[in-house]
Amino acid sequence: MIPFVAVVSLRDQQSRTFRLWIPMVLIWLVLLPLGVLLSPFIFIACLVGGVNPFRGVVVMWQIFSALSDTQLDVEHRSAGLSFHIF
């Protein structure tokens, strides 16, 4: 299942926290028509490069689907950055 929400949390050295919820669905909705528009060029580039374009689409879909539950936390002194994909 493709991820639907990404949460970015920033904490500064004064311990003030800023949290941003990013609805990934909107990003997918924007990328989808862009992908459709660029698909002929991507298809031609894949054929020129010797890559199976259909397999490429399947693999990219699998990568996007596997992004769920990816988490990255960085803390330095009292500041911190957290990035979590649901």
Partner 1 sequence: MSEHRRQILEMLSEGKVNADEAERLISASEGPSSLSSEPGSASAGKSRPKYLRVQVDSEDDGGHEGPTKVNVRVPMQLLRAGVKLAYLIPAAAMQKANLAMLEKGIPVDLTQIKPENLEELVEQLSDLTVDVDQKDANSKVKVRVFCE
Q: How far is the CB of 61 from partner 1 (least distance, A)?
A: 9
Helices (H), the chain: 24-49, 53-65
Closest by CA to 15, choosing from 84, 71, 72, 75, is 75
**What is the per-residue binding string for partner 1 in 50-69, x denoting contact by CB under 8 A?**
xxx--xx--xx-xx-xxxxx
The residue among 19 and 55 lying less far from partner 1, judged by its C-beta, is: 55
Query: Which two three-digit tokens encode residue 82?
Result: 């957290």
Q: Kindly state whether residue 70 participates in binding partner 1, applying the rule CB under 8 A.
A: yes
Q: Which stretch binds partner 1 (CB under 8 A): 4-12, 23-31, 34-42, 70-78?
A: 70-78
Largest Cα–Cα separation, the chain: 53
